[in-house]
């Protein structure tokens, strides 16, 4: 399954305006985004995820599902009895706007 869910327009707008580094969050672009997407496809083949940001202080990746944003740690994966990756998301947001507000709060509090 390919995971080509288009990102919301807010993602492009953030890049156009230079809002790409909200430490600890950083928007993914280019080769880095392609690498994370490839890893997500391998890890969660049945889950449509499009990574768009990652945290610099851990392995969390913010992903667009086509409907909402989920934050996953794609390197700390729990497997079920059949060795399939178990979907676990430490956070979920109803829109990219909602995720951005939380990312700004993280930016304010991060030190």
Q: What is the pLDDT of residues 81-108, one digit of tens each?
A: 777 767 777 789 999 999 999 999 999 9
Residue 3: the pLDDT is 53
Q: Are strands 69-73 and 25-27 parallel, antiparallel or unpaired?
A: unpaired
- Taking the C-alpha atoms of residue 14 and residue 28, their distance in angstroms, rounded to an integer, is 11
Q: Could you tell me how far CA 89 lies from the centroid of its own chain?
A: 10
Sign for the pseudo-dihedral over CA of 81, 85, 90, 94: negative
Comparing 43 with 4, which gets the higher pLDDT? 43
CA dihedral 5, 35, 103, 63 (to 10 degrees): 30
Q: Of 27, 7, 25, nearest to 17 (Cα)?
A: 27
């Amino acid at each position: 399954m390919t995971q080509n869910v288009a990102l919301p327009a807010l993602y492009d707008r953030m890049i156009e305006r230079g809002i790409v580094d909200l430490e600890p969050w950083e928007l993914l672009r280019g080769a880095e985004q392609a690498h994370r997407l490839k890893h997500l496809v391998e890890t969660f083949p049945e889950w449509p995820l499009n990574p768009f940001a990652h945290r610099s202080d851990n392995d969390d990746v913010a992903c667009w599902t086509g409907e909402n944003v989920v934050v996953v740690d794609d390197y700390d994966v729990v497997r079920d009895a059949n060795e399939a990756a178990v979907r676990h998301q430490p956070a979920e947001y109803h829109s990219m706007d909602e995720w951005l507000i939380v990312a700004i709060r993280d930016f304010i509090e991060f030190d």
